[in-house]
Structure 1
Amino acid sequence: MGNGAVIGRRKGDYVSAFASQGYVSGTHARLQKSASGQWEIVDLDSTNGTFVNGNRLSPNVPAVFSIGDIVRIANLDFKVE
């Protein structure tokens, strides 16, 4: 993944994983490393939202996530390990 990746149903590095997921927006979110080296997720103004530990992210505002956190992309939950 390098320093980041776009997640989406139509655009991004992982289209094949999300192409059949109707609730995931075409360009849904971006994973990126902050200047301090922490991983962040940014909602790209998606329709069904991006969440960290149940908290919906504001569009285009980075949110740090860590090991043990639950990241939700639309209706899909991922546990960070």
Structure 2
Amino acid sequence: MEKEELREKCIYYIRNKRRKKFLILFLIYQLMFFITVVLSLNFQLINIVYLIYCLDVDIIVSIFTYILIYKKPKKNKNKDILMMFSLNVYPEIQFLIDKDDFLIGRKIDLVNGYIENQDVISKIHARIIRVGNNFFIKDEESLNGTYLNDKKINEYDVIPLKIGDIVKLANIEFKIK
């Protein structure tokens, strides 16, 4: 029961992040529309009233209502960190996971945890998510798979991590500490 609750919290966190991205993109679109209309109206005062009418007030009001009603997750000031140490690669690879969203892969400018000189690792291989003081792992549609304690993680699964777990990214094993 407790694992299911943690999984639901993690899924809630991912959906929350997607909603925020959508709102930001939508507000940018509305701002661009506003600027375009203002420039086309040559800053005449009577046309400003027309501009407000054109901005589709219903959509803007619904967005602000959504923002006001939407519950934000509680912030915990004493957040845990997680350490990952490679077991079968020399030199040893270590990750200190102290962010809420930590990407691991071989594309240095896309990930937080960079694994170099390993062609079996995808550009973005796995994601570690922190919700409160709990950590979860998710496979990011990697070619060679992500495993937790020798069980393959499906691309839509979000699995809780605990101290002592063995995470395998393709053929590289990591121990959670």
TM-score above 0.5, yes or no: yes
Aligned match for 2:111, one of 1, 5, 12: 12
Separation of aligned partners in 1, 2:153 and 2:129:
15
Give CA deviations for 1:13-69 in whole Å, capped at 9, x if unaligned: 122xx12111100111101113x5311110000000101100000003211110011
Question: Aligned match of 2:156 in 60, 64, 72?
Answer: 60
User: Could you tell me the TM-score, scaled by structure 1's length?
Assistant: 0.87
C-alpha separation between the residues in 1 aligned to 2:113 and 2:128? 11
Rg larger for: 2
Greater fraction of residues in helix: 2
Query: In the TM superposition, what is the alpha-carbon distance from 1:71 to its structure 2 partner?
Result: 0.6
Kindly report structure 1 stretches of 4+ aligned residues shifted beyond 4 Å: none
For structure 2, list consecutive stretches of 5 or more residues without a partner in the other structure.
1-97
Greater RCO (Cα-Cα under 8 Å, separation 6 or more):
1
Alignment counterpart, residue 139 of structure 2, candidates 43, 51, 68? 43
1:2 Cα deviation (Å)?
1.8
Q: Which amino acid aligns with 1:63?
A: I
Aligned equivalents of 1:55, 1:8: Cα separation in 2: 20
- The two structures, once aligned, show a CA RMSD in angstroms of 1.3
